[in-house]
Structure 1
């Protein structure tokens, strides 16, 4: 253990992260491997790779390992859409049907099963802000909770059926919403629709838009929708939780669909990245929208995005459909335009600051930015689902315990 300090963080106390991960997750075989980074005041203070990126081939996790970040794609897509907002291309209270005319007559589910639904009219039209805040009434096929998400599964609206983003938007025009827009919160394909709007408003495909307006300016050379052949050796395997705190192979990196160009460019969950690339994105946000001289978003826009946009300043549990998501600890947490936002530290039962924002991914990756402490944490691993273990809350406890100034 060392007692040295960097940026007000005690490195000896940060070493508890590695000890905890080894003792609680790697030694008992709960996780294959992890990569954890802590940064403060614009510098990476602590970063450690532990365990294996590919158990079957006995390959270690390394600093440049490529990870499926799944829903950590969502903040990138949200920034992309808000870049276009800054150009006056749309307003947040614009009806989505202004840009997707086939959505003019969306209805709300009342009863029945696909394709025989009984529906009613929406109380008001769905807006662009409803998409950004997951208050749209859309859902996800993996929810396994309603007859609407059952229809999503039947139609393969998760990208597995080979459909394009354009086809997804078209299919959604014919399905009912789970609720009238703005009346509840439900994790959904809404951010994929945001990606569609980015394409529509910019005239570029989503991968081209991301590359030109976010990845290249920030120097993110290892973030993409499909892994290039010459980088496949760095791609981690993905694992699935099994009862009894074990895991099994879910996606072999050498046979992964992520090694092929996708039909479906998913702004909701399609990106592969490295911890250093994602740090460049997160540090740009922590800096108010700029990193190493490249500005991707205005300071005031970002401040607006990380406000709680839920009605009446409610938190997620008071507005969310039961069992609707697990990408973040959510008591005392609201939602902004693309991020969760901590509103009430005591209610969250996890150390942090009011205004802390971030998100996670289906394979248990997670990041947060604490603007009060000027602190960033990025955690990479590959275990589905993200609700398998409470490691995100444990990391927050250890990292905040290392702040000594």
Structure 2
């Protein structure tokens, strides 16, 4: 069985076996489609899926476009644009709210927000829920799986966020997720426009990503099906989000962390832009080469025990993955069942979107099988020169 057949089999067999109800995939090599397809009832390559955390790099690119324009600087404090996050207090003990707080040693910077070192977020090494997450839930903010209709508008969301002490000093620790929501508000305020407008103008439009957005337009709603929970002990799934559910209309808070819907072709178009140093298919520049290099360069050190690191709004591998992605590969996964990674050593981009949420932070077997097939390099060599 050749590589193309292995890629397709990894997905179609998982659907046939009932691991997921449906999935679409696309694997490119140096910009050329190697494998593209879909499996499951009503699923095809044009199906719209909920990206969840694979949203993060796409929104980060919009921020880097504003850096290119000089509307943002990576090392500028966010205090002027986000006064709700100025003059922060920091927990003495991130696991014990009763231990008290101290003043923040410095302001939060734009770089801190992009690298998730602003002092707020999910701590995968500590107890759950952390005092920070408990306080955010108590303030009225959703802290569970993506729920785009549950959060208040951006100004109120940030005001509530600003009532909670930081769990770490700015620049000190990588804490997951909340930085992406803050980044979306920062982009909108820096540009003086709503985040969906900025994203459409600076990233989605130039790349022809017509199936991507915060909510699905009426013309594409027949391409958004239901989303499912993993099977329970009885083997049955529940509908997590109906076809006409939370992503079927624009949210009050367009969350830069997990709010987008998209297609395999759109995600591949975004990946190709980064591969080409920031250019759209027609040659227009979406990002400068410097911005792309900054995004895709590891910035914070290990974020897990499996060789993962973080750049500016995007995952970047620190070490080679045995039989898979090389160090320097970049992309991200989403807990609602999405994954995109690009390996700059082999030139391979692999996108897998499914309609079932993960049961844990660890990828289900399908994702490991798909990556193994997609990033296998046996039998071919990168172009010389």
Q: Normalising by structure 1, what TM-score?
A: 0.85
Q: Could you tell me which residue of structure 2 aligns to residue 29 of structure 1?
A: 18
C-alpha distance in 2, partners of 1:74/1:363? Answer: 13
2:294 corresponds to: 304
1:72 equivalenced with 2:54 (yes/no): yes
Q: What is the aligned length?
A: 369
Match of 2:3 in 1: 13
Matched, 1:174 2:147: no
Measured at CA, do residues 399 and 99 of structure 1 come closer, stay the same or move farther in structure 2, by a change above 3 Å?
Answer: same
Partner of residue 348 from structure 2, selected from 375, 382, 393: 375
Render the CA deviation track for 1:133-179: whole Å, top value 9, x for unaligned.
Answer: 11111125999431210122233323554401111111111111111
Q: Are the aligned partners of 1:238 and 1:382 in contact in 2 as well (CA < 8 Å)?
A: yes
C-alpha separation in 2, matches of 1:135 and 1:295: 29
**Does residue 101 in structure 1 map to residue 90 in structure 2?**
no
**Richer in strand (by share):** 1
SS in 2 for 1:316: coil
Q: What's the offset of the Cα at 1:297?
A: 0.2
1:147 aligns with 2:131: yes
Residue in 2 that maps onto 1:397: 372
Q: What corresponds to 2:178 in structure 1?
A: 189
Does the alignment pair 1:289 with 2:273?
no
Shift of 1:182: 1.9
- The alignment's C-alpha RMSD in Å is 2.4
Tell me the residue number matched to 2:337: 364
Equivalent residue for 1:41, pick from 5, 9, 30: 30
Instruction: Report SS of the residue matched to 2:74.
Output: coil
Classify the secondary structure of the residue corresponding to 1:35: strand
Q: Alpha carbons of 1:400 and 1:226: their partners in 2 closer, same or farther (altered >3 Å)?
A: closer
Change (3 A) 1:360 1:21: same
Does the CA-based 8 Å contact 1:91-1:128 persist in structure 2? yes
The correspondence for 1:351, drawn from 308, 324, 327, is 324
1: CA distance, partners of 2:4 / 2:265: 19
Give the structure 2 partner of residue 134 of structure 1.
116
The equivalent residue for 2:145 is: none
* Deviation (angstroms), 1:40: 0.9
Q: Structure 2 regions of 5+ residues with no counterpart? A: 143-147
1:250 matched residue in structure 2: 240
Aligned to 1:91: 73
For normalisation by structure 2, the TM-score amounts to 0.89
Q: Do 1:141 and 1:153's aligned partners in 2 also have CA atoms closer than 8 Å? A: no
